[in-house]
């Protein structure tokens, strides 16, 4: 008799489904969505008075963040990218990213700035933190690539109910939305998710 899939198998199947779905988007669709995202950020006021914003380099069919990064550079917003923490296993640090940043390719094949302690921004000093995600649901639950890096990094913030910053905003294509996702105790849900067409607030 066939056995019920475990929650781990179910989450991995969902990851595969949603990753395939976004990888099938054409270059034209990706370019259109990336521009729509910039407009969405401007129109929604998500950056209102933001000075320091963390984002990530696009990988695996994710929304192309480079036009948004260029837009922030042009508007005098300091941009930060995640790098793997050198001694706090599974956590992220956020390093300033400029046109002059020395970059390297990490173990996931993603570009990241070279670790330089002088360029680190503490989490609480960021105004906005954009997170990648593989799928999200109607309650703001987030399924990532399976590394748990953002869950670990955001766990300390999650306990401070009155915190003002950073505003944590998931970025996703509209096709990454689903009705309901299976969650685990350590998953940190998102209050905000932005797609090229909509800013969700949960
Ligand atoms: N706050 C945390 N402390 C310790 N381990 C964690 C924490 N958050 C997540 N993890 C671990 O990270 C792994 C991946 O988390 P998961 O939520 O499945 O990935 P993702 O969020 O990338 O989809 C899990 O095995 C989980 O135990
Ligand atoms: Mg998680």
Q: Which domains, from first to last, does the chain contain?
A: 7-201 (3.40.50.10420)
Min mean pLDDT across 79-83, 105-109, 115-119, 170-174 is at 105-109
Average pLDDT over residues 123-133: 96
Kindly identify the ligand whose nearest atom is closest to the C-alpha of 189. 2
Kindly identify the ligand whose nearest atom is closest to the C-alpha of 147. 1
Cα(85) to centroid of ligand 1, in Å?
15
pLDDT at 160 over 90: no
Percent of the chain with pLDDT over 70: 96
* 8 A C-beta contact, residue 131 and residue 166: no
Cα(58) to centroid of ligand 1, in Å?
21
Which of the four pLDDT bands, split at 50, 70 and 90, describes residue 110?
confident
**Other C-beta atoms lying within 10 Å of the C-beta of residue 12:** 14
* 8 A C-beta contact, residue 152 and residue 102: no
Average pLDDT over residues 182-194: 96
* pLDDT for 108: 83
Dist. CA 25–CA 95, nearest whole Å = 30
Neighbours of ion ligand 2 (CB under 5 A): 151, 187
Does residue 15 sit in helix, strand or coil?
Answer: helix
Does residue 43 sit in helix, strand or coil?
Answer: helix
Which of the four pLDDT bands, split at 50, 70 and 90, describes residue 163?
low
């Amino acid at each position: 008799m066939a056995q019920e899939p475990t929650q781990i198998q179910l989450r991995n199947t969902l990851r595969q489904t949603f990753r395939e779905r976004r990888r099938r988007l054409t270059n034209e669709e990706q370019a259109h969505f990336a521009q729509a995202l910039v407009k969405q950020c401007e129109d929604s006021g998500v950056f209102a008075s933001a000075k320091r914003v963390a984002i990530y380099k696009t990988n695996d069919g994710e929304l192309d963040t480079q036009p948004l990064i260029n837009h922030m550079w042009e508007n005098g917003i300091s941009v930060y990218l995640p790098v793997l923490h050198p001694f706090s296993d599974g956590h992220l640090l956020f390093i300033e990213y400029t046109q002059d940043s020395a970059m390297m390719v990490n173990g996931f094949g993603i570009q990241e700035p070279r670790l330089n302690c002088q360029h680190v921004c503490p989490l609480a000093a960021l105004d906005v933190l954009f997170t990648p995600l593989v799928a999200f649901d109607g309650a703001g639950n987030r399924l990532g690539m399976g590394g748990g890096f953002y869950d670990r990094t955001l766990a300390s913030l999650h306990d401070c109910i009155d915190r003002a910053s950073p505003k944590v905003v998931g970025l996703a294509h509209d096709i990454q939305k689903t009705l309901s996702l299976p969650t685990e105790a350590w998953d940190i849900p998102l209050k905000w998710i932005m797609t090229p067409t909509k800013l969700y607030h949960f």
